[in-house]
Chain A
Amino acid sequence: MPEQLFFTIEVILNGLMAGVLYSLVALGFVLIYKASGIFNYAQGVMALFAAMTLVGIMEGRIPFAHLINAILGTKIHHFGWHVNAVLALILTMGVMLLLAWLVQKVIFKHLVNQEGIILFMATIGLAYFLEGVGDLMWGGDIKMLDVGIPQGLNLWIDETTYNMFDYGFFIDNLDIYATVIAAILVFVLVGFSQYTKQGRAMRAVADDHQAALSVGVSLNFIWIMVWTLAGFVALVAGIVWGTKSGVQFSLSLIALKALPVLMLGGFTSIPGAIVGGLIIGVGEKLFEFAVGPLIGGATENWFAYVLALLFLVFRPQGLFGEKIIERV
């Protein structure tokens, strides 16, 4: 087979892997939207905040050290210890749980029955607040994140494909791990929502708040649970993306990559987030490969949105989204 064909296959495989990374971010949006109807603008910042907290805990950084030093004139930065990645992960999940509780108690508890746009605006406020608090807590420097996920060319795939086709395929180890993590995450989330009492309660709330309340489901509890789950998903996305580029502010911008995925896959479907991510990933990589050089390149950012818009023309609710029929 000609080299051009192998390269196309390589582009498609890498597009699929990139799509999985986009899906990881999109999943957090879906969880919250599905259960509460809130489009969480802060999801990208939550990924940043979670990753910053993880690195901060691992490195034994003192939270708000800059603020403490500025007020008290001290020069403290570190506790002087390093925390094991697994323990740090558990502690970070605790922080995300606390954050979910605070978000519910301080913001959304007071906004029950408000219009969707009001809730959306509240999440914009939350995003800016978290951005500032994250910087204040852990500093604005670029942080290295190493939780043991390997990076770089997978030698086995490279050698095997080279021996078979005389063309070594490039697949990043990090992308393989991300794919496995995303697959586990989807199975866990789907299993949780289908087969556990809390999961069924979450689906009941998603279907009808008032009906769920009338049968004794605690809206408060469910929303805290959903924000916590979204926080955990944000943590996973933050770890994968943070391992690639270091933990820095730009991590919050990965939400921009999730938007076309949501438009395409639907805002309410977990499988939709995965399929949407894969289509966007492959679509943008193939377009960049085939058409990019003819029109100056750097097409990926806008092409993802064009692709999503094309799908919207034919399926406004996205591929897997719920069709909303309103009678007037």
Chain B
Amino acid sequence: MFKKTILAALSSIMFAGPALAELVVPWFAYRTGAYAPSGIPLVDGINDYFTMVNERDGGIGGVPVRVLECETGYNTEKSVECYESTKAEGSLVYQPMSTGVTYQLIPKATADGIALHTLGYGRTSAANGRVFSNVFNYPANYWTAASVAVNHLLAENGGSISGKKVTLVYHNSAYGKEPIRVLEMLADKHGFEFNAIPVDHPGQEQKSQWLQIRREKPDYVLMWGWGVMNSVAINEAANIRFPMENFIGVWWSGSENDVLPAGMRADGYKALALNAPGTDYGIYDELKANVWDKGLTAGAGDQIGSVLYNRALYMAFLTHMAIEKAQEVTGVADISQADMIKGMEALEITDAMMAENGLAGFAPSFKVTCEDHGGSGLGAVQQWDASAKTWNLITDFIEPDMGMIAPLIKEDSEAFAKENNIAMRC
């Protein structure tokens, strides 16, 4: 017994080498629970993208990427536990995929010196890098989304929606409430009548809300929903014969999961888009050659090409570019958590970079700076074709009303800084 113990100890000393360098990208997965249908394409997309990078390029700057999946079931407490249990593994950037979790993690990540990236969700005023040193919400946020939706309505109505009625149906949570302030201000500016109707989690029953909408007869309905709330709302809208082309969801209310249950009745429904839908991009050839054909597909491989899978590819691409930028800025391949923040702050996504990575025309270019962590704020509008079962972009990427939004971001973030004694930077 003693000999065996000595032998085991010697073996471990002889064969133990330095730990291999790796770039750890944590991911709060929700393959289970009420929001699993949305969580599965996201986690599959992230995994497939970095498998492609590892297989094709041997990682980023020669250092392999490890996606660190932590199952949360879309539960805030579990997400915070996931953060605490994975942060010591060198996690470079957290993408919480939930506005509620983002609010929980902002103080923790800031204290720990780890980056948070909340693409198209989270705390909108975190776009002010002078206050939120570790939080990035590029390329767009809920306030720019609200403005993009209104600008789309303006374009459809020859530049004026004065006197029109616009109703917001929203998830009764921090997420759903985010656009209300901006929509109220836009209503004052453009002279439209605005009201907001909340729907409680999970949103399985919305008869009251849609009876109210039927009675008030708004010209347009906007939706900030998630999970089953989206599909039920689209179904109820079809039930009351609300014209689908006048019903516009935010980018978290515009996936196949949301429209398929309503069948043909969802035809014409619109949603905002941060990136283009479809598979007509060079990256899909790369994924096929390096991931799917090698049998390395994440999950069941049945999410490829869906809206949320594309969203995850976009998130992974932006993380990839930020890591490359961090390596370039610091001259170190195996970057640290602090280096990642430097990389994200110096990030510039150009059309040439997109094209080089098989994503030409997939999303607009933008630049991040120390002051501006929010990106361009551009968003497009996509429309559901129920017979072909495809989403199609029907507009170019639309500019938000930054003249209105920028002062709001400044005001909100500076109030947060004052409350929390945060010194301005940059």
Do A and B interact with each other, yes or no?
yes
Q: Interface residues, chain A, CB within 8 Å of chain B?
A: 7, 10-11, 14, 17-18, 21, 65-66, 69, 73, 75, 77, 131-132, 135, 139-142, 144, 146, 151-153, 170, 172, 241, 244-246, 248-251, 253-254, 257, 284-285, 288-289, 292, 296-298, 300-301
Give the one of B35, B211, B227, B260 with max A CB within 10 A: B211
B354 at the interface (CB under 8 A from A): no
CB of B364, distance to nearest CB on chain A (Å): 30
B240: chain A residues within 8 A (beta carbon):
153, 170
A170: chain B residues within 8 A (beta carbon):
211, 214, 239-240
B90 at the interface (CB under 8 A from A): no
Binding stretch for chain A, among B201-209, B313-321, B336-344? B201-209
Contact partner, B37, options A152, A248, A284, A288, Cβ 8 Å: A248
Is A257 within 8 A of B34, CB to CB? no
Contact partner, B235, options A65, A244, A250, Cβ 8 Å: A244
Residue on A with the closest CB to B172? A298
B116 at the interface (CB under 8 A from A): no
Give the one of B200, B228, B257 with max A CB within 10 A: B228
Is A144 within 8 A of B260, CB to CB? yes
Is B32 within 8 A of A142, CB to CB? no
Is B208 within 8 A of A248, CB to CB? no
Known: A144-B260, A244-B235. Contact between A296 and B202, CB under 8 A? Answer: no
Is B36 within 8 A of A140, CB to CB? yes
B227: chain A residues within 8 A (beta carbon):
250
Is A18 within 8 A of B231, CB to CB? no
Known: A250-B204, A250-B228, A292-B208. Contact between A140 and B241, CB under 8 A? Answer: no
Contact partner, B207, options A14, A296, A301, Cβ 8 Å: A14
Number of interface residues of B (CB under 8 A): 42
A300: chain B residues within 8 A (beta carbon):
200, 205, 208
Is A153 within 8 A of B211, CB to CB? no
Give the one of B204, B241, B263 with max A CB within 10 A: B204
A69: chain B residues within 8 A (beta carbon):
300
Known: A153-B239, A298-B172. Contact between A144 and B263, CB under 8 A? Answer: yes
CB of B191, distance to nearest CB on chain A (Å): 23
Given A152-B239, A170-B239, A245-B261; 19 other pairs, CB 8 A cutoff: A10-B211, A11-B211, A18-B207, A75-B301, A135-B36, A139-B302, A140-B36, A140-B37, A141-B40, A142-B257, A142-B261, A245-B228, A245-B231, A249-B33, A257-B204, A285-B207, A289-B208, A301-B200, A301-B201
Q: Could you tell me the distance between the alpha carbons of A297 and B169 in the complex, rounded to whole angstroms? A: 11
B197 at the interface (CB under 8 A from A): yes
B265: chain A residues within 8 A (beta carbon):
151-152
CB of B305, distance to nearest CB on chain A (Å): 14
Give the one of B32, B232, B261 with max A CB within 10 A: B261
Q: Could you tell me the distance between the alpha carbons of A204 and B263 in the complex, rounded to whole angstroms? A: 47
A140: chain B residues within 8 A (beta carbon):
31-32, 36-37, 40
B260: chain A residues within 8 A (beta carbon):
142, 144, 246
Q: Could you tell me the distance between the alpha carbons of A141 and B232 in the complex, rounded to whole angstroms? A: 16
CB of A66, distance to nearest CB on chain B (Å): 5
A151: chain B residues within 8 A (beta carbon):
235, 238-239, 265
